[in-house]
C-alpha cells in the first residue's frame, strides 16, 4: 500500500490546474453541549490553510466536534481553480495525502475508505474517505481523537439538473439539516447519499416527461394524442436526438443507482469506523439509510421501466425514419421516371426533325448545283474528305476516353492493393549488437 501511495503522489504531477480564485468558500460546523452551529464564510487564499488547520480559539475550545469543508471550483475543462502548491498544502493540512491523489486526478467514481493500522492491528487516525458522484467529488479525513473532520468539496459544473452554484447550495442545505451527526464519521457520505437520491428523483421526473412527449409525437406508446399530426423526416430527426439524450441520461441514472445502493449498504452493515463516541448516533443514521435504500430500490425499477420505453421509442423512430426515407426514395424514383419519359418524348420528337435537317444541310452544300444538268461538281469529294475522318475521329476519341478511364481505375486499384500488401508486411530493425542472435548469445 505504501508503494501505491508514493506512486500516486508522483502521478499527481499530471493533475491540471487553472487560474486560482482570490477567495474560497469555507463551511465550519461546531458541536457544543447544547447546540450545533454551522457557519459559511468566504476566506482569502492566503488564509485558507490557517482556517482548516489552526488551533481552536478560546470561544470554540468547548466544542465537542468540529468540521471544516473547503469548496474548490473546476472549470469546463475539469481543471482545479486553485494554485497547485496551495492545493498540495491543503491536502497535507487536511491529512488527505496518499492514494486519494490518484483518485482525484482520474476522477474515479464511487466510494473509497482508507484506514491506517498500526503493527498491532489497532486503528490509527485519521480515516480517509473519498466519494465521487454526478454532482461532484468529496474527500475528507476523520480524526476520532479530536472528533474533527476536514473535507474538500469539488462540485461539477453541472449534473444535468443544477449548475455548480446550486449543487453546492443544495449540499450545504442538506448538511445543515444533518449537522447534528457531526461526530459521526460517515456524515458527509450520508449527505452525499441524500443528495444523490434527490438527483435520481429529479432525473426520473425530467425523463418521464421527455418520454411521454416523444410517445405523443410518434403516436406509439402509453401517451397518444389524437390531435397530434404525423411528423415529417426533419421532425423525426429532432425527436431521435431527444430520445437519444434520454437513453444516455437514464443509463447514467441507473449507474448512480448502483453507486447509491453501495453507499447505503456500507452505512447499514458497517459500524462507524475509528469512533466510539458516535455509537449512539449510528442507529439513527441506519434507520434513515434503510428508508433511503428502499426508496432507491424502487426508483431503480422506475428508471429501468423508462429505459425500456425509451429503447422502444428508438426502434419506433428508426422504423418511421426508414418508412419516410423509403417514401422519399420512391418519390425520387417516380420523378426520375417522369424525367426519363420526358427525355424519351423529346428524343422521339427530335426524330421528326433530323431527316429534314440532314437533307436541308445536304442540299445547301455549294458543291451541289441543283439548277444545272450536272448536279455533283468535281470538288464534292472534299466534303467527304473532311466529314468521314472527323466522324471517325470522334468515335475513336469517345472509345479511347472510355478505355483510358477504365485503365486509370485499374492502375489506381493495383497501386492501392500493392500499398496495402506492403503495409501488412512487418518490418523490424535491430541496432548493432542487438536482435535475436545477440539475445541467444546473452
> Tell me: the pLDDT tens digits for 350-375?
777 777 777 777 777 777 777 777 77
Question: Hey, what's the cell of 80?
Answer: 482545479
State residue 141's pLDDT score.
93
Q: Between the ranges 56-65, 89-98, 298-307, 371-380, where is the mean pLDDT highest?
A: 298-307
Name the more confident of 20 and 371: 20
State residue 369's pLDDT score.
76
CA angle (180 as vertex; 175, 182 as ends), nearest 5:
75
Q: Please give the average per-residue pLDDT across 108-127, as a whole number.
A: 71
Q: Using 50, 70 and 90 to split pLDDT, how confident is the model at 431?
A: very low
State residue 75's pLDDT score.
87
The proportion of the chain whose per-residue pLDDT surpasses 70, expressed as a percent, equals 82
* HEC profile of the chain: CHHHHHHHHHHHHHCCECCCCCEEEEEEEEECCCCEEEEEEEEEHHHHHHHHHCCCCHHHCCCCEEEEEEECCECCCCCECCCHHHHHHHHHHCCCCCCHHHHHHHCCCEEEEEEEECCCCCEEEEEEEEEECCCEEEEEEEECCCCEEEEEEEECCECCCCEHHHHHHHHHHHHHHCHHHCCCCCHHHHHHHHHHHHHHHHHHHHHHHHHHHHHHHHCCCCCCCCCCCCCCHHHHHHHHHHHHHHHHHHHHHHHHHHHHHHHHHHHHHCCCCCCCCCHHHHHHHHHHHHHHHHHHHHHHHHHHHHHHHHHHHHHHHHHHHHHHHHHHHHHHHHHHHHHHHHHHHHHHHHHHHHHHHHHHHHHCCCCECCCCCCCECCCCHHHHHHHHHHHHHHHHHHHHHHHHHHHHHHHHHHHHHHHHHHHHCCCCCCCCCCCHHHHHHC
Q: Exposed/middle/buried for 387, CB within 10 Å: 0-12, 13-18, 19+?
A: exposed
What whole-number distance in Å separates Cα of residue 234 and Cα of residue 219?
16
Q: Using 50, 70 and 90 to split pLDDT, how confident is the model at 188?
A: very high
Taking alpha carbons only, the member of 134, 163, 146, 136 closest to residue 72 is 136
Instruction: Compute CA 135 distance to the chain's CA centroid, rounded to the nearest angstrom.
Output: 15
Name the more confident of 209 and 418: 209
pLDDT at residue 169 tops 90: yes
Q: Please give the average per-residue pLDDT across 340-348, as a whole number.
A: 73
Strands 65-71 and 148-155, bridge-based pairing: parallel
pTM value?
A: 0.70
Q: Using 50, 70 and 90 to split pLDDT, how confident is the model at 274?
A: very low
State residue 125's pLDDT score.
61
pLDDT tens by residue, 77-113: 888 999 999 999 999 999 988 888 889 888 899 899 8
What whole-number distance in Å separates Cα of residue 378 and Cα of residue 367?
8
Amino acid at each position: 500500500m505504501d508503494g501505491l501511495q508514493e506512486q500516486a503522489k508522483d502521478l499527481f504531477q499530471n493533475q491540471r490546474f487553472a487560474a486560482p480564485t482570490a477567495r474560497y468558500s469555507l463551511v465550519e460546523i461546531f458541536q457544543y453541549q447544547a447546540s450545533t452551529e454551522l457557519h459559511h464564510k468566504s476566506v482569502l487564499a492566503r488564509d485558507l490553510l490557517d482556517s482548516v488547520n489552526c488551533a481552536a480559539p478560546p470561544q470554540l475550545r468547548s466544542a465537542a466536534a468540529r468540521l471544516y469543508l473547503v469548496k474548490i471550483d473546476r472549470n469546463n475543462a475539469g481543471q482545479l481553480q486553485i494554485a497547485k502548491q496551495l492545493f498540495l498544502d491543503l491536502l497535507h493540512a487536511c491529512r488527505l495525502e496518499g492514494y486519494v491523489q490518484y483518485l482525484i486526478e482520474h476522477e474515479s467514481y464511487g466510494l473509497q475508505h482508507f484506514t491506517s493500522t498500526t503493527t498491532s492491528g489497532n486503528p490509527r487516525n485519521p480515516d480517509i474517505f473519498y466519494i465521487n458522484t454526478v454532482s461532484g467529488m468529496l474527500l475528507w479525513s476523520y480524526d476520532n481523537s479530536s472528533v474533527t473532520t476536514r473535507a474538500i468539496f469539488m462540485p461539477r459544473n453541472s449534473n444535468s439538473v443544477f449548475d455548480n452554484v446550486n449543487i453546492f447550495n443544495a449540499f450545504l442545505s442538506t448538511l445543515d439539516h444533518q449537522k447534528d451527526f457531526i461526530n459521526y464519521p460517515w456524515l458527509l457520505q450520508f449527505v452525499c447519499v441524500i443528495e444523490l437520491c434527490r438527483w435520481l428523483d429529479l432525473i426520473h421526473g425530467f425523463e418521464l416527461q421527455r418520454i411521454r412527449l416523444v410517445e405523443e409525437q410518434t403516436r406509439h406508446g402509453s401517451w397518444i394524442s389524437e390531435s397530434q399530426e404525423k411528423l415529417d423526416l426533419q421532425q423525426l430527426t429532432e425527436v431521435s436526438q431527444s430520445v437519444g439524450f434520454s437513453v444516455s441520461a437514464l443509463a447514467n441514472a441507473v449507474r448512480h443507482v448502483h453507486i447509491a445502493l453501495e453507499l447505503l449498504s456500507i452505512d447499514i452493515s458497517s459500524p462507524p469506523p475509528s469512533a466510539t463516541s458516535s455509537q449512539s448516533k449510528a442507529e439513527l443514521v441506519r434507520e434513515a439509510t434503510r428508508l433511503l435504500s428502499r426508496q432507491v430500490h424502487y426508483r431503480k425499477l422506475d428508471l429501468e421501466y423508462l429505459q425500456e420505453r425509451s429503447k422502444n421509442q428508438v426502434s419506433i423512430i428508426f422504423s418511421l425514419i426508414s418508412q419516410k426515407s423509403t417514401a422519399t426514395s420512391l418519390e425520387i424514383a417516380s420523378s426520375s421516371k417522369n424525367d426519363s419519359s420526358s427525355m424519351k418524348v423529346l428524343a422521339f420528337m427530335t426524330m421528326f426533325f433530323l431527316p429534314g435537317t440532314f437533307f436541308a444541310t445536304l442540299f445547301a452544300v455549294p458543291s451541289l448545283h441543283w439548277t444545272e444538268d450536272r448536279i455533283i461538281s468535281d470538288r464534292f469529294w472534299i466534303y467527304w474528305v473532311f466529314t468521314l475522318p472527323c466522324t471517325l475521329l470522334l468515335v475513336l476519341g469517345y472509345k479511347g476516353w472510355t478505355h483510358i478511364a477504365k485503365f486509370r481505375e485499374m492502375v489506381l486499384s493495383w497501386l492501392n492493393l500493392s500499398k496495402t500488401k506492403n503495409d501488412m508486411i512487418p518490418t523490424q530493425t535491430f541496432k548493432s549488437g542487438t536482435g535475436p542472435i545477440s539475445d541467444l548469445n546473452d
